[in-house]
């Protein structure tokens, strides 16, 4: 028997108030800011140069458009679900409604790779950039894991990563509204610096750097279909796609939105549109100020590409290079904040269903936040961030995200067939075409991940299934209510 949640029960749960319920404090602008906070991390500064140098050239602007269209298919499906079922849990809840408990558990387990592992990996990168901003003032052994060494010096613990995780966890425990305010300030800072680069850099654009617009066939080092021309645009889209990851985290806050039927589609799609516009303008300026071929040079360092362009070609604006590093730090901070928020809300919903222990859904008596879940999450994510190298995570974060995209797209199609009469405040257009394209594009990107990533992801999923049959299945509230 396939155990599924009924829409009626979900709506009752979503409309519940009082003790044991999350507070509805977020408006549409809070949700858009959450989306931007999760999307604009270092991806904008790092992936743009990588895509231009490796595949797309100046046509990386088109790569961002292609990647945005791919995300939009999944985003439209998320928007319909979030407006119709305004409850915490995101893709996990949507899968529970359409495909049953086992599939829901699998996606909930996969989301740990997106949110928890993503937060750990980003906190490690935050530590690296902080040290870069401070000129290497933090000793190597106190900012790296024990498995890393440099010039005979071995790491002991990554303290900065642990500190930022603790600070943001305390903010989350204090309240969702307070977290949203902090996120709003961070988003303002990093968007302001992105806009400054676009506005100030525009005057340094050289039209010849955009000619030819695409990498010509036969360019040395660009052999292969996805390295030049329109193929290069598609290859670039695969690289920059992951700069868009994060908009789905908005849907985890559905139970805390003031007017979810209106605000959730605005939050999800609004953040996606704003980030896409910023990405296109940013990449146009970056490849106009410096020729794309410079980003193909490993000596320039893709991570320092924006700072390199500013210091080399934008005379008089060296202060902006420091501003970019600050924007990256701010970007990392808001990504960690939203990832921790998203993971705690997924755990909260899974616990309410009995699939995880009750401790994950216990709310703070004063702040009405899942404070125990936040602290457990800090310990788990903190252990990874403090003692494991960031490179270990690889593309596992991407696997969890893409799997969620595939199942949400499939869920919309299934629910349209199964329950066409349901009220849908927002409707995904062109069903089943949009869900099918979402499944194909995101599924194709899963297949394109490297073999090691897929192998580790498979092992993680097998562990999840063992836990489901050993604990979750026996404690499932739906199963026990039907016995």
Hunting for tokens 């073999």 — which residue is that? 451
**Domains delineated in the chain:** 35-476 (1.20.1740.10)
pLDDT band at 16 (very low <50, low <70, confident <90, very high): low
Question: Average pLDDT, whole number, for the chain?
Answer: 84
d(CA 166, CA 159): 11
What pLDDT, in 10s, does the model give residues 164-190?
Answer: 999 999 988 887 777 778 888 888 888
What pLDDT, in 10s, does the model give residues 49-98?
Answer: 888 888 888 999 999 998 888 888 988 998 898 888 877 777 888 888 88
The count of other CB atoms within 10 Å of the CB of residue 206 is 12
pLDDT band at 341 (very low <50, low <70, confident <90, very high): confident
Hunting for tokens 């999800």 — which residue is that? 268
Position 241 scores a pLDDT of 76
| pLDDT for residue 289 is more than 60 | yes
Segment holding 397, helix H or strand E: helix 396-418
Position 472 scores a pLDDT of 92
* 164, two tokens: 């930022």
What pLDDT, in 10s, does the model give residues 32-59?
Answer: 888 888 888 766 777 788 888 888 889 9
pLDDT band at 301 (very low <50, low <70, confident <90, very high): very low
What pLDDT, in 10s, does the model give residues 225-248?
Answer: 778 888 888 888 877 876 787 777
- 163, 157 in Cβ contact below 8 A? no
CA-CA distances (angstroms) from residue 466 to 38, 61, 154, 461, 473?
A: 31, 44, 36, 9, 10
Q: How many residues does the chain have?
A: 483
SS3 26: strand
Position 285 scores a pLDDT of 95
Position 395 scores a pLDDT of 62
Instruction: Give the mean pLDDT of 130-138.
Output: 84
């Amino acid at each position: 028997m396939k155990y599924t949640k009924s829409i009626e029960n979900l709506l009752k749960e979503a409309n519940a108030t009082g003790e044991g319920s999350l507070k509805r404090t977020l408006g549409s602008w809070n949700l858009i800011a959450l989306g931007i906070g999760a999307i604009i991390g270092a991806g904008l500064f790092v992936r743009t140069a990588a895509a231009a140098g490796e595949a797309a050239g100046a046509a990386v602007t088109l790569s961002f458009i292609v990647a945005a269209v791919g995300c939009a298919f999944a985003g439209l499906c998320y928007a319909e679900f979030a407006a119709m079922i305004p409850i915490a849990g995101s893709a996990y809840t949507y899968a529970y409604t359409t495909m049953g408990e086992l599939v829901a558990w699998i996606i909930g387990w996969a989301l740990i790779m997106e949110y928890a592992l993503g937060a750990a990996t980003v906190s490690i990168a935050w530590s690296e950039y902080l040290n870069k901003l401070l000129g290497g003032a933090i000793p190597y052994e106190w900012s790296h894991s024990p498995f890393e060494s440099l010039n005979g010096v071995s790491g002991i613990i990554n303290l900065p990563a642990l500190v930022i995780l603790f600070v943001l966890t305390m903010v989350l425990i204090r309240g969702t509204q307070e977290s949203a305010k902090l996120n709003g300030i961070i988003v303002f800072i990093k968007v302001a610096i992105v806009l400054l680069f676009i506005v100030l850099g525009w005057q340094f654009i050289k039209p010849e750097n955009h000619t030819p617009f695409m990498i010509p066939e036969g360019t040395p080092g660009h052999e292969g279909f996805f390295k030049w021309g329109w193929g290069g645009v598609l290859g670039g889209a695969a690289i920059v796609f992951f700069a868009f990851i994060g908009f789905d985290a908005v849907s985890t806050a559905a139970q805390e939105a003031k007017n979810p039927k209106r605000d959730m589609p605005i939050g999800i799609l609004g953040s996606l549109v704003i980030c896409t516009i910023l990405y296109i303008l940013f990449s146009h300026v970056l490849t106009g100020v410096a020729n794309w071929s410079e980003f193909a040079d490993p000596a320039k360092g893709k991570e320092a590409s924006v700072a390199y362009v500013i210091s080399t070609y934008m005379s008089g604006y060296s202060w902006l290079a420091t501003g970019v590093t600050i924007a990256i730090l701010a970007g990392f901070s808001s990504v960690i904040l939203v990832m921790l928020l998203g993971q705690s809300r997924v755990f909260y919903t899974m616990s309410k269903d009995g699939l995880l222990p009750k401790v994950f859904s216990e709310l703070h008596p004063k702040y009405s936040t899942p404070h125990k879940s936040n602290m457990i999450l800090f310990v788990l994510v903190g252990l990874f961030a403090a003692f494991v190298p960031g490179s270990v995570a690889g593309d596992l974060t991407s696997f969890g995200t893409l799997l969620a995209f595939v199942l949400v797209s499939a869920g919309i199609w299934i629910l349209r067939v199964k329950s066409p009469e349901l009220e849908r405040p927002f409707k995904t257009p062109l069903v089943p075409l949009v869900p099918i394209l979402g499944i194909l594009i995101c599924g194709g990107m899963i297949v394109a991940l490297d073999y090691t990533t897929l192998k580790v992801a498979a092992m993680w999923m097998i562990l999840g299934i063992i836990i489901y049959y050993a604990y979750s299945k026996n404690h499932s509230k739906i199963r026990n209510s039907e016995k």
